[in-house]
Structure 1
Amino acid sequence: MYSARDRVEQEEWLVEIERAADSLDLGADARSTAEDLFLSNVPESERSKPAVAAAALYAGALLAGEERSQTNVADAMDVSRLSVQQRWKPILESAGFRPPSW
């Protein structure tokens, strides 16, 4: 869980998630879920934040039924596809979901 303070402190990344969601034409549920997943998994390292934000956006889109490819999400967030691939399942697991096995 995260606090209101986390939302303020991570505003830069929430704006980036929103920008990427716009470019991917994602709906409100996917955006909100992605923000919640990111804020619940914010890494301490600034260097890791872009990859975690991208993975949260990918996972949020999946949960909202608006699946986008890892490549498209990675491109929208300006990270590598491998960054998304390595992080999205642990993010889902930390939120209490069981990721698909495909």
Structure 2
Amino acid sequence: MLSKIRGFGKFSGQLLKSVAQAYENGQIEVGYDPAIGTFTIRFVSTLGLPPNLADLKAAVGEVLPAHLLVKYVFRYLLVREVEGLKLQNLELRKLSDFAPFLEEKGK
């Protein structure tokens, strides 16, 4: 409901950020590439997929004009962030904090 209240008015990147921030407790960044008409919502402090991603996408879809696109960029733990961790600390991490493994086709 908070996103609906924030969602009124002329569309802008700031409006998109405000709506997205209503669904995300962490830090996000919103960028725009006018050459391809695409906004990017980047999750900066949340690891993995946000638990309410479907709700966020629905709210963004309600305020985003039809001629624009939106892309979501998620944050996962990087090798440089885990290489110094002790095994017991690493085992405390959720598997979803790591980038999903995608098998290559044909292998």
TM-score bracket for the superposition, by shorter chain length: 0.3 to 0.5
Q: Which has the higher helix share?
A: 1
Q: Which has the larger radius of gyration?
A: 2
- Report the TM-score when normalising by structure 2: 0.39
Q: Which has the higher strand share?
A: 2
